[in-house]
Amino acid sequence: MTTNISNNPILINQSLWAAMLVTPTPSFIAKLAAEQTSIPENAGNQQLLVRPQQLPPAITAIPAGSLGPPPVILQRNIVSIDLALYGQSIWFDRRLLEQDQMPWLAVGTERLGIALRDGEDLLIYNALSSSAVQYACYQGAIIDTPTSISSPDINNLYSILQTANSPTTTRIIVGDLRFGTSPVISSYWMLCNTRMTATLQAVTNFQFSAQYPDPAQSQGPNEYGTIPGFRIWISSNCPISSQASKLSQDVYSSFCGGGNPYAEVTLDANSTRLIYRDDSYSGPLGLQVSLGSTMFFGCGITQPTWIINVQSVANYFNIF
Amino acid sequence: MAFNPAPTLNPSGNFTTTVDRYHVLSTGAPKQIPLQTAPDFIYLQNIGVPTTGSSWTSSAAGSVVKEAWWNSSYPNGYYWGTVNTPSAATDQKVFATTGGFSVFNTAVPIPYAPITGGTSITTANPAVATIANTFSAGQVVRIQNATGMEQLNGFLFTISAVTGAGFSLQYLNSSSFASAATSFSAQLVQIPVFSAIPFANYITAVASVGVTTVITLSVTHNFYVGGIVEVDIPIQYGMHGALSNQNGWQIIAVNAANNTITINANTSTATPFAFPTSTYALSSAYQGLPQVLPYGQVPPYQPGFAQSPQWYLQLGSAVAGTNGGYMEVICYASSNIVNA
């Protein structure tokens, strides 16, 4: 067979540019208010967190000639959190690594790391969902059980946390002479689902983080705004109970609270570990390499009266 | 039909291993099996009831699923199976989208659609709900859209005495309710179990007994003696305020049969606990459900109550087998090689 140049197909030159396709990644905000603790290596798999109990107020007047003040008993409560090991791995064909333009090991490392943090985020939500007190919004504009979130609900939540002597977590942002801004009071934190943004905007006195007198004081790109008393962060990972309202609408779990009412526990230096094994481990031909990631992780609520699982419905119409 | 041995596995997978193998005694109802890890492939063989013979006869035997497969590319609930042809002594292959296998992790609960069409919830102990369902005993359901018993909307209940036509709300004594529910929906719920401490629960009754208080919970609980709980009861239920305690209450007894915990709180002078009326539950003053929350424990430390996320296989109604029969369930996992 002879080859004639004019009969050759058009030459196809392929080039990869990985950045052309961005992999969507949720915002991992669940650990925002977590107390970070760790267990040293070879020191067991359970973290005990200790809380001394409140004593009765010292309101007893000590009469003259008394032998001494009335005795009280000091006790403590313990919250225990167990560690578990999580992880996953990828096997690569060596030919792929050595022939393909895609930087597979780098991509795999990135995806494993993100998947680990994604898992951590979901596990925290799960732990909070299982143990935090539920508050069903009941004064919102969308009539259902629960209703949508509303200003009276927000005010009530603020009072509940204040009454539980929960500390606010963000400080006052004082007013400034900038149009469209207003001062922000010291606030509790609230984690909401991204599907709630339209409903949040409709709540009385909602204020975008860009409308803070000093927008630089917003805490990261995921801080959406504030409703007086609460600074709001949003993530698509925040839990949704499908069709769980009285009228079978999706119910959103927003977590709010003050201080660090839950704790995340890891094993010292093992919150993330990347494990690479080269091809010499895979057999006589050395055909595969493996890449894995692990984390030791545990989570639990430590102050049940300082965190609330706020149940609400929202205006959202999904096209995907 | 000849016995089909272990199926051919995913050809792209190397290092294929059998990760779970179960000899399952069927109750004829959907069943959940704990797994070590997420499988890539599942094979089920329905052996049948030992005393009445194998499921593998060639006679007409209804539409029993004799064997079924699932792989991780299928959505939950799907299966590919060999099924007896109804009213005929032959078999047929089916690919079904419901009643099959579901693989889930307790960290990511499966969303179930509510079942509508409930016709009544009785005023009885326990309350009995009438609704066409595929639930099984021990599962947890959320009551929704109830009329006549609006107080129950949003509550989760462990159910018992399940038939295709209804179930009992095992831990609810509704004898004192003013009226029965005349319609409702029920949604199967997989409660989050990831908890280093017991999970929060709803209250269906509170009784003052001497200087202690006995609290009945709506979902089979995992509290334990020595644990500390916080009690949160909205004002409309009574007992509100009497059980507020900044230090929590210590559990001094649990009763698994009645699903109660006993705390060392003297509520003898408090307003008795009672569900609000339906009318109140519909009003704008209604503030939600009474709950018990884990608060910790007192020394000495009692280990063994932590639960980490767990993989489960749910055998749906089509692959649940026949009551008293045995099934072999084999789960495989493979470490797929990323190649070109």
Look at residue B34 in the predicted model and tell me its pLDDT. 86
Residues 6+ apart with CB under 8 A from A209: A215, A218, A223, A224, A225, A226
Residues 6+ apart with CB under 8 A from A254: A149, A190, A191, A192, A193, A196, A238, A309, A310, A312
Whole-structure pTM value? 0.87
Residues 6+ apart with CB under 8 A from B166: B128, B129, B130, B131, B133
Beta-carbon separation of B338 and A95 below 8 A: no
Look at residue A1 in the predicted model and tell me its pLDDT. 52
A43–chain B nearest CA distance, Å: 16
Top residue of A35, A91, A111 to mutate, by most chain B CBs within 10 Å, is: A91
Look at residue A148 in the predicted model and tell me its pLDDT. 96
Task: Look at residue A304 and tell me whether its pLDDT is greater than 80.
Answer: yes
B297, B308, B338 ranked by CB distance to A93: nearest = B338
Look at residue B339 in the predicted model and tell me its pLDDT. 59
Decide if B178 touches A, using CB distance below 8 A.
no
A48–chain B nearest CA distance, Å: 9
Calpha distance A298→A73 (Å, rounded): 32
Task: Look at residue B286 and tell me whether its pLDDT is greater than 80.
Answer: no
Average pLDDT value for residue range A251-269: 94
Q: What angle do CA B322, B328, B330 make, to 5 degrees?
A: 135
Calpha distance A125→A299 (Å, rounded): 9
List of chain A residues whose C-beta atoms are within 8 Å of the C-beta of residue B297: 77-80
Beta-carbon separation of A96 and B309 below 8 A: no
Average pLDDT value for residue range A11-37: 82
Look at residue B160 in the predicted model and tell me its pLDDT. 95
Beta-carbon separation of A138 and B336 below 8 A: no
Residues 6+ apart with CB under 8 A from B221: B198, B199, B201, B254, B259, B261, B292
A89, A139, A246 ranked by CB distance to B144: nearest = A246
Q: Each residue of A34-51: pLDDT tens digit? A: 999 999 999 988 888 988
A75, A130, A304 ranked by CB distance to B298: nearest = A75
Average pLDDT value for residue range B123-130: 96
Average pLDDT value for residue range B328-338: 79
Q: What is the mean pLDDT of chain A?
A: 89
Residues 6+ apart with CB under 8 A from A142: A148, A199, A249, A313, A314, A315
Query: Poorest-confidence range of A70-74, B10-14, B138-142, B322-326?
Result: B10-14
Task: Look at residue B215 and tell me whether its pLDDT is greater than 90.
Answer: yes
Query: Poorest-confidence range of A5-14, A238-247, B115-124, B269-278?
Result: A5-14
Look at residue A311 in the predicted model and tell me its pLDDT. 96
Task: Look at residue B4 and tell me whether its pLDDT is greater than 60.
Answer: no
B194, B287, B335 ranked by CB distance to A123: nearest = B194
Look at residue A140 in the predicted model and tell me its pLDDT. 93
Look at residue A228 in the predicted model and tell me its pLDDT. 96
Look at residue A307 in the predicted model and tell me its pLDDT. 96
Top pLDDT among A261 and A59 is at A261
* pLDDT bucket at A216, cuts 50 / 70 / 90: confident
Calpha distance A117→A122 (Å, rounded): 9
- Which chain B residue has the Cα nearest residue A76? B298
List of chain B residues whose C-beta atoms are within 8 Å of the C-beta of residue A241: 111, 189
List of chain B residues whose C-beta atoms are within 8 Å of the C-beta of residue A136: 154, 287-289
Average pLDDT value for residue range B259-266: 95
Top pLDDT among B300 and A181 is at A181
Q: Each residue of A112-151: pLDDT tens digit? A: 999 999 999 999 998 999 889 999 999 999 999 899 999 9
Percent of chain B topping pLDDT 70: 85
Look at residue B257 in the predicted model and tell me its pLDDT. 94
List of chain B residues whose C-beta atoms are within 8 Å of the C-beta of residue A131: 195, 197-200, 293-294
Task: Look at residue A320 and tell me whether its pLDDT is greater than 50.
Answer: yes
Beta-carbon separation of B293 and A304 below 8 A: yes
Q: Each residue of A74-98: pLDDT tens digit? A: 988 888 888 889 988 888 888 888 8
Q: Each residue of B291-318: pLDDT tens digit? A: 999 888 877 665 555 566 778 898 988 9
Task: Look at residue B102 and tell me whether its pLDDT is greater than 70.
Answer: yes
Look at residue B11 in the predicted model and tell me its pLDDT. 43
Top residue of B10, B72, B105, B194 to mutate, by most chain A CBs within 10 Å, is: B194
Top pLDDT among B41 and B288 is at B41
Beta-carbon separation of A133 and B15 below 8 A: no
Task: Look at residue B14 and tell me whether its pLDDT is greater than 80.
Answer: no
Task: Look at residue B13 and tell me whether its pLDDT is greater than 70.
Answer: no
A50–chain B nearest CA distance, Å: 9
A82–chain B nearest CA distance, Å: 6
* pLDDT bucket at B207, cuts 50 / 70 / 90: very high
List of chain B residues whose C-beta atoms are within 8 Å of the C-beta of residue A286: none
Average pLDDT value for residue range B61-77: 85
Q: Are B187 and B144 in contact (CB under 8 A)?
A: yes
Q: What is the mean pLDDT of chain B?
A: 84
